[in-house]
Amino acid sequence: MGHRGWAAPPLASPANCAMLEGGQGPLDAFLAVKEGELPMADDRGVTHYDLMPIPPIEAQTRFFKANPIVIGVEYRLLDEEIAASSETATARGSDMGPGAGMDDRGVSLHVYAVEGGEKLEHLRFDCFDEDPHYHYVSWKDRTNQMVHIDVAAVGDPVDWALDCIGTRLPQMLDRAGAEETVKKLDLIALQTILPRVTEAAYQARFNSDEQAVRISALGEMD
């Protein structure tokens, strides 16, 4: 099946991951200008949820490792029954999640950092059919911040999310409060797994069994 022309993004290519003149690579350059020169994160349009994200369903998620990160690919259903059955930790925000009538589905891309032997999710791209959005997740600060995706501006949410992972991962992880993980990122290892992540994302989009996903979701949450 086609991938809508998606290709491995340039930042993650071996050539661009090579050291630049003066011994500085793209990740080093980002870290060097981070303090005082990059604009502060814009909080406009951000929803600050009062709950942390619903955990992914392990049985419906494929994981790809590029130390110190792991990317999970999951096909998700989200409705009132599944949300009510989920166990979620409280967060420091004041905004409640979607209320009555929510019924959405689509591919979710989870970006975890392995910290102290524990796998913690810091970014989530919910490429849903009706309300695509993404999350910045900080377990240290207990925050879950959601931003809607404007499909008129960015196009296919799955393509856009994959491109973000390939080209903006240091910046987005930093925005989510995972500064120590950013310092350890291996962009060449990331480039190596991206084709498999892409394949898994489109397999999930077009080949998932929604009834099996629902049974698995409600079964794991009982």
- Domain ranges in the chain are 41-221
- pLDDT attached to residue 86: 82
* Residue type at 135 in one-letter notation: H
Can you tell me the distance from the alpha carbon of 205 to that of 107, in angstroms, rounded to the nearest whole number? 6
- Residue pair 138/176 in contact (Cβ under 8 Å)? The answer is yes
* pLDDT beneath 70: ranges in the chain: 1-26, 28-42, 98-100, 220-222
**Sheet of 103-115: strands edge to edge?**
46-48, 143-148, 133-138, 118-128, 103-115, 69-79, 61-66
Name which of 110, 103, 117 is nearest 57 in CA terms.
110
- pLDDT attached to residue 141: 93
Give the number of C-alpha atoms closer than 13 A to the C-alpha of residue 219, restricted to the C-beta side: 10
Tokens representing residue 3 in the block: 């991938």
Read off the pTM: 0.81
